[in-house]
Amino acid sequence: MKKIQSVIDRIQPPEESGRLLAKRRLDRLTKPPGSLGRLESLAVWYVGATGKVPVPPLQKAIVVFAGDHGVTEEKVSAYPKAVTAQMVYNFLNGGAAINVLARQAGADVRVIDMGVDHDFGKRPGLVDRKIARGTRNMKFGYALSRRKALSAIAVGCELAEEEARRGTNLLGTGEMGIGNTTASSAITALLTGAPVGTVTGRGTGIDLPALRAKRAVIQEAIRVNRPNRHDPIDVLSKVGGFEIAGIVGLLLGAAAHRIPVVVDGFISTAAALIAVSLAPEVKEYLLSAHRSAEPGHRIALAKLGLRPLFDLEMRLGEGTGAALAMGWVESAVRILTEMATFDEAGVSGPEREK
């Protein structure tokens, strides 16, 4: 916890002066003031977070954390657990949706093995930070020990630090872990106070009986583990996962290094609930990409006070929503840096009343 606390202690609020400079420039550009709507707010958010004017070219990376879940024994997913490892190979080979969308956005994809139940050996492109071969089945006790949860958060913090050293100035979150909507629903129920029934959805696409079973498993896990809602690390350890803990750490570390982060879907937002509980100022560095089809996502976003940029009814995870939203952050930054002002272009401003 000492390592994590030192990261938390570094987090500062965004620079009001940067936000103001961005706003002033936006109003001098050749368009009616405010007419680019939320794209303008994005530019202000970005400059406020980094505090850097002029804005340097964007260097984007999406960090995809992978981990397995013991709770898959309870048939909470439509897919077998082996798919987590198989999809990691797919990420490394560039064939998954996140690879396609990240390429288009000009973002690097980092693939982090936080806790996959598979021995990958040495694989080019795979960052091996495995803490264990998956979590334990939360139905019968804690998913990961408090010590392991803290280690996993620390890994995320270190990865953010590495990104800062590399010059990354826009991060996106991603994840892969069969069973992780179960963990995220449990976290969301605990940290928002919403009933398990309303925050638990069909994940990869289970049928109604399986959905009922999934809800019952989460209820049981909460009954057995009695997580302390006022201790986000306790919640993470009792019903979370290694990839979720990694995202928590990435969010903390990114805020400490003033790197704005695009938060993907439901799992990433569950991690954001934990990170913001640990350090409320993290929120200012976060952008919610989209509202996913998972019912708990809306509730988690409301609790965080984050308004998603779009809703394409996506429910894939991996960071796919973040990749799309990163394109818009780039649009916003380019508007700020590339558009002509009224003076430069010789365009008349609004007519004043006489």
CB nearer a copy of itself, residue 124 or residue 351: 351
318 is catalytic: yes
Q: With contact defined as beta carbons under 8 Å apart, do 192 and 273 qualify?
A: yes
Nearer to a copy of itself, 51 or 327 (CB): 327
Minimum distance, C-beta of residue 340 to a copy of itself, in the bound complex (Å): 3
CA dist 302 and 216 (Å) reads 24
Q: Please say which residue, 87 or 301, places its beta carbon nearer to a copy of itself.
A: 87
Please say whether the beta carbons of 68 and 178 come within 8 A: yes
CB of 270 to a copy of itself, least distance (A): 18
Q: Which long-range contacts does 290-295 make (Cβ < 8 Å, 24+ apart)?
A: 290/264, 290/265, 290/314, 290/321, 290/324, 290/325, 292/265, 292/266, 292/317, 292/321, 293/201, 294/181, 294/184, 294/185, 294/201, 294/202, 294/203, 294/265, 294/266, 295/198, 295/199, 295/200, 295/201
| Shortest distance (Å) from residue 267 CB to a copy of itself | 13
* Residues 28, 352, 26: CA angle, nearest 5 degrees: 15
* Closest approach of a copy of itself to the CB of residue 47, in Å: 16
> Interface residues with a copy of itself (CB under 8 A)?
29-39, 78-80, 82-83, 86-87, 89-90, 93, 95-97, 99-101, 103-104, 204-205, 293, 309-310, 312-316, 320, 324, 327-328, 330-331, 334-335, 338-340, 344-351
Residue 11 three-state SS: coil
Of 157 and 267, the one with the shorter C-beta distance to a copy of itself is 267
Interatomic CA distance for residues 265 and 339, integer angstroms: 31
User: Least distance in Å: CB of 78 to a copy of itself?
Assistant: 4
The catalytic residue among 40, 74, 243, 318 is 318
Angle at the Cα of 167 from the Cα atoms of 161 and 168, rounded to 5 degrees:
75
Which CB sits closer to a copy of itself, 65 or 328?
Answer: 328
CA atoms within 13 A of residue 56's CA, in its CB half-sphere: 10
Phi/psi of residue 114, nearest 5 degrees: -95, -30
Provide the annotated active-site residues: 318
